[in-house]
Structure 1
Amino acid sequence: MAVISKEDFISSVADALQYISYYHPKDFVDAMNAAYEREANPAAKDAIAQILINSRMSAEGHRPLCQDTGIVTCFVKIGMQVQWDSDQTVQEMVDEGVRRAYNDQSNPLRASIVADPAGARKNTRDNAPAVVHIDMVAGDQVEVFLAAKGGGSENKSKMVMLNPSDDIAAWVEKTLPTMGAGWCPPGVLGIGIGGTAEKAAVMAKESLMGHIDIHELKARGAETTEEKLRLEIFERANKLGIGAQGLGGLTTVLDVKINSAPTHAASKPVVMIPNCAATRHVHFTLDGTGAAQLPTPKLEDWPEVTWEVGDNVKRVDLNTITKEETTSWKAGDTLLLNGKILTGRDAAHKRIKDLLDSGEGLPEGVDFRGRFIYYVGPVDAVGDEVVGPAGPTTATRMDKFTDMMLEKTGLMGMIGKAERGPATVDSIANHKATYLMAVGGAAYLVAKAIKQARVVAFEELGMEAIYEFDVEDMPVTVAVDSTGSNVHQSGPAIWQAKIEELDAELSK
């Protein structure tokens, strides 16, 4: 009979959360590298290259892969013969492990959890509590499956109650394009089928803990209903041409995972949850002999991918930028940004709106005239860092503020990740502004381009404060140009057509 001590459990959770903050699973790295090798769209290939370079940098530097270090989800499977040497519940022990990990001063992780979600939404400051699922199983061990799930991908979760005769693969094919690029493809789709609505959601999330093995499955052939469905969804999803970061390309989905359970005869609940480019999960077992020992990956497991400045890349001086220059940019152009930019995301935009509505005006030192705003909530700096990992957040969330910002503040343009909504694209065109896209999932790489950083307003908002960054050769893509031309619309459409042409050629 195993006796699991409180300290062994807590320290194992804390160590595991630090581990997954900077180590991608090897199967994910291998799958991304395979996607990189076969990608034919230069823009998508470039985005995957940045993600792979960022992954290796994070592994070397022990710093977060993504600035969104996630909400912690923990599946704990407790053997019926296990005894606990603890005065705390499993939930309390997991939460203590979260606090230790996220407040570790050698690698502090961003606290993103807010309490009172329908009201004040006050940050808990330690990323606790975690979401914990507990199962009692046979045996005398404790198995822990731990993940840190970013908000950008979690927000794209989809749920439907299908009729028993409805086609699940067709629903996925129809639904995936509506998710946009905020989940940072390419990634893994987790699908739960059956049970009840909440059971399907839990199964979908747990399926994401599995090993990426779709190509091995394809090689040996499907045997079960779930395996056949995995292959069908995988093929149909990748034929959509959405591609890396939604830019269009051959790989949208790296794998499809499915868990199912018996359900009511009148029901077919289906939940789809995507994992993003910051796929972070780990599994360990405790048997009473001590804390979990996680293997240290070898750096040679990462491919030697480089990112080089091409002849068509334009260097931009943001300190002297003019409207004439920005209106010359075309959707799809690659830029290297140099100079000063301001930051701001959800909470800062809400504050700005309230101040402008009240007639009070912007805070002292905040002037958006002729400038760009970067949608980001960075990780705290350590050592000699100017700022911690600082990748883009989903720009779509700021859509409802965009017209106000362009109309009332003199803002010239925006930098974020993923697509903008139709009304926002119209507003960008009407104001002759521009929207630039940085690669989601390359936060540590982006941070290396930031040479100075200071808080200029709303310091009490923590990572949601307004910063001024001084950047050097920060890579971005013109996603929406001043005419309203939009790569997140044109890219997938072009590549879906190209994939159809390729399939037609191969079938002859």
Structure 2
Amino acid sequence: MTTIINEQDFIQSIADAVQFISYYHPADYIQHLARAYEREENPAAKDAIAQILTNSRMCAEGHRPICQDTGVVNVFLKVGMNVRFETTLSLQELCDEGVRQGYLNPDNPLRASILTDPLFSRKNTRDNTPCIVSVELVPGDTVDIQIAAKGGGSENKAKFAMLNPGDSLVDWVMRTVPEMGAGWCPPGMLGIGVGGTAEKAMLMAKESLMGDIDMYELLQRGPQNKIEELRIELYEKVNSLGIGAQGLGGLTTVLDVKINTFPTHAASKPVAMIPNCAATRHAHFVLDGSGPAHLSPPSLDLWPDVHWAPDYNKSRQVDLNSLSKEDVASWQPGETLLLSGKMFTGRDAAHKRIQELLSKGEPLPVDLTNRVIYYVGPVDPVRDEAVGPAGPTTATRMDGFTEMMLSQTGLISMIGKAERGPVAIEAIRKHGSAYLMAVGGSAYLVSKAIQASKVVAFEDLGMEAIYEFEVKDMPVTVAVDSTGTSVHTTGPATWRKRIAEIPLVAI
């Protein structure tokens, strides 16, 4: 019997799904993260997880994005061979139209991050299309759809290697995870694909991230096969690295490790690893010809009783409007600051434009003297919002611009997520600057500290334009102080030693 899939039902299902996953974490992620929060002993990591959990609940209640990076959409289709599509569009076009409608939804507009040309013009498509579609024809009369929104911070940390057949997967993972830094916003999960060919291994790694997080249940019942034994081994060894939430050091770096395998050539051992971040977003549904899919919201009872708020007793309040180099020099590594006043935003494209203007001797459109720049590309506001979700982007992408910004513009400090590399740290030390870290995965929570927002330069860059934000008590941590001390080095090193002395237990 042939099943007819209506064009509009398919498009509506995709549109509804990208909205749904933008503000609902999967229940399994919330449950495992709540256990990690209860178990965490590092105060900085525990505070970061509290922000992520609080942000998650706020997004579920307010139907606004978990992260400002609403991702590149990945669609995995298993199309039954007894299915007929009532449409003149291709599957790619159907998925793209669903993504377009979902991302341009006026009640919850999602950030457009996709660029038409990766090499030259890099012009934003403004609707987050095209998406990435993978199709498999299978027996049956339904269309099975898994959809995910994958943020750039975690996608950029994807790793691939062609190992020799006798090489150890565990050894490769343990060498590779520390190289990934914290730009993928841990705690999350690792998806691993082994076998097939290069592209098959990468696809398997990505697909493995669609599965439920079940490490807690696996540890309780014990492994039943060699893959499960390997998952547990990697889970325990990766957490023993002490990287922790946001790379600050702590007990939980990963909540789960997933592994997919496929037969491979006798001379080959392709391995791929892709992390999922604190903004884990995916959904699964089936179309059977009866209409568009319906996704059931998770119960708010799933969220733990965690409600992060600024701690005025333990945090230093900073007036950005009167900030001086002497103030910056007084900040201590790991110290929590609450920022109030005006700051500018700027990401890769804006930094490149500034570089081009300086090289030509032309004036900058904004005066950065004694100012702070926030690495962020915000979501557009709705209703009474000053700005939409506006969490930090990965700071290391701006490392190559740091010396220029600190030596030629008068910039005094920077805000982003994750660690800085040695080139940036040396520039920070040389110029007595500082790097402040906001929590990745808490974009809606952070946006509540932004009282006003306006574009002040490079408007054509869309979300990568330079904005001026006025903030009140925006929470950040001193990640690199004016002497060049980095908590992303000291924190994990301390917790790696501590973890070696305590038994790992199920989270």
| TM-score range for the pair, normalised by the shorter chain length | over 0.9
SS state at 1:373 partner = strand
Paired AA for residue 342 in structure 2: K
1:426 aligns with 2:426: yes
SS state at 2:229 partner = helix
In 2, Cα distance between equivalents of 1:475 and 1:344:
18
Paired AA for residue 202 in structure 1: L
Cα deviation 1:223-270 (Å, max 9, x = unaligned): 222211111110110000000000000000000011100000111100
In 2, Cα distance between equivalents of 1:206 and 1:165:
25
Partner of 2:352: 350
Contact 2:32 2:216 in 1 (8 A): no
SS state at 2:502 partner = helix
Aligned counterparts, 1:330-409, within 5 A = 330-363=332-365, 366-409=366-409
In 2, Cα distance between equivalents of 1:405 and 1:28:
39
Paired AA for residue 339 in structure 1: G
Partner of 1:42: 43
Cα deviation 1:344-385 (Å, max 9, x = unaligned): 00000000000000111202xx01100100000000011111
Partner of 2:135: 134
Partner of 1:116: 117
Greater shift in the superposed pair: 224-233 or 34-43: 224-233
SS state at 1:502 partner = coil
Paired AA for residue 251 in structure 1: T
In 2, Cα distance between equivalents of 1:52 and 1:62:
15
Cα deviation 1:106-141 (Å, max 9, x = unaligned): 100000000111111111111010100000111111
Partner of 1:235: 236
SS state at 1:124 partner = coil
Paired AA for residue 475 in structure 1: P
Aligned counterparts, 1:56-455, within 5 A = 56-308=57-309, 309=311, 311-363=313-365, 366-455=366-455
SS state at 1:87 partner = coil
In the TM superposition, residue 299 of structure 1 has moved relative to its aligned partner by 1.6
Contact 2:99 2:131 in 1 (8 A): yes
Paired AA for residue 403 in structure 1: E
SS state at 1:170 partner = helix
TM-aligned CA distance change 1:497 to 1:310, over 3 Å:
farther
In 2, Cα distance between equivalents of 1:165 and 1:181:
30
Cα deviation 1:167-221 (Å, max 9, x = unaligned): 1011111110100000000001000000000000000000000000012112222
Cα deviation 1:24-72 (Å, max 9, x = unaligned): 0010011111110000000000000000000000011100000000000
Greater shift in the superposed pair: 297-306 or 260-269: 297-306
Paired AA for residue 321 in structure 2: N
After superposing on structure 2, the runs of 4+ consecutive aligned residues of structure 1 that deviate more than 6 Å are: none
Give the % identical residues.
64
In 2, Cα distance between equivalents of 1:231 and 1:208:
16
In 2, Cα distance between equivalents of 1:372 and 1:119:
30
Cα deviation 1:388-418 (Å, max 9, x = unaligned): 0000000000000000000000100000001
In 2, Cα distance between equivalents of 1:384 and 1:295:
28
Paired AA for residue 173 in structure 2: V
In 2, Cα distance between equivalents of 1:127 and 1:76:
19
Paired AA for residue 408 in structure 1: Q
Contact 2:124 2:462 in 1 (8 A): no
Cα deviation 1:279-338 (Å, max 9, x = unaligned): 000000000111101102222221110224052211111111221111011110000000
In 1, Cα distance between equivalents of 2:308 and 2:129:
37
In 1, Cα distance between equivalents of 2:36 and 2:488:
19
Paired AA for residue 133 in structure 1: S
Paired AA for residue 66 in structure 2: L
SS state at 2:473 partner = strand
In the TM superposition, residue 503 of structure 1 has moved relative to its aligned partner by 4.0
Greater shift in the superposed pair: 148-157 or 161-170: 161-170
SS state at 2:321 partner = coil
In 2, Cα distance between equivalents of 1:95 and 1:361:
41
SS state at 1:477 partner = strand
Paired AA for residue 353 in structure 1: Q
Greater shift in the superposed pair: 215-224 or 165-174: 215-224
Aligned counterparts, 1:472-487, within 5 A = 472-487=472-487
Contact 2:400 2:423 in 1 (8 A): no
In 1, Cα distance between equivalents of 2:79 and 2:324:
62
In the alignment, structure 2 segments of 5+ residues that lack a partner are none
Q: CA RMSD in A?
A: 1.0
In the alignment, structure 1 segments of 5+ residues that lack a partner are none
- How many residue pairs end up in the alignment? 503
In 2, Cα distance between equivalents of 1:292 and 1:446:
33
SS state at 1:241 partner = coil
In 2, Cα distance between equivalents of 1:160 and 1:180:
18
Contact 2:103 2:112 in 1 (8 A): yes
SS state at 2:56 partner = helix
In 1, Cα distance between equivalents of 2:393 and 2:503:
35
SS state at 2:333 partner = coil
